[in-house]
Amino acid sequence: MEDVEKGWLWIRELKNSVCFYRVVFGEKRERVLAVPYTEVMARQREIRNHFKSLKSAAKLNKYFSTFEFRHKEKLVDKKAYLTPAQIIENMVLIEESLAELVKADPKCKKPENRQAGYETWRQWSKIRPYLNTLGGWNIKESDSQKALGWGTAGRRNQGGQET
């Protein structure tokens, strides 16, 4: 009399969630729960409460014991990377924002501005090697000046002196 629950447990993994079904022979399967991957481990107790039989409990034990290993890539938020157009747009916004911050606090007296300055230099020191080294794109500042017509190399180029 220990296995009083009719039917058995069937687990179906979808793209973003896991569905738990109760299946009884000769009847249409009944979806009991649909749980997003990120919530499966946190909602174990709720899931177990819906399936009381020993066979279901054993199947859930096995499922939960291997879940994190099998689905670790789905449990981690995927990073979203910027497109080249978004990088340009954000760099313009950063430059304009820094200009406004400097205008409002020219001597950098506010601690949050000083911290922003430190962090900006730290990030820039990580960004720069991607642009101007042989291991990166190998684009120098003077290349940008010539191509976009800014700075001393750009003015020289516009003055008719081709190099």
Using one digit for the tens of pLDDT, what is the confidence trace for 121-133? Answer: 999 999 999 999 9
Ranges in the chain, pLDDT < 50: 1-3, 163
Same domain, 42 and 97: no
pTM assigned to the model? 0.50
Rounded (10°) angle between helices 111-132 and 84-104: 150
| Full residue range of the structural domain in which residue 28 is found | 8-75
By residue count, the chain amounts to: 163
Same domain, 69 and 97: no
Q: How many domains does the chain have?
A: 3
Are residues 28 and 57 both part of a single domain?
yes
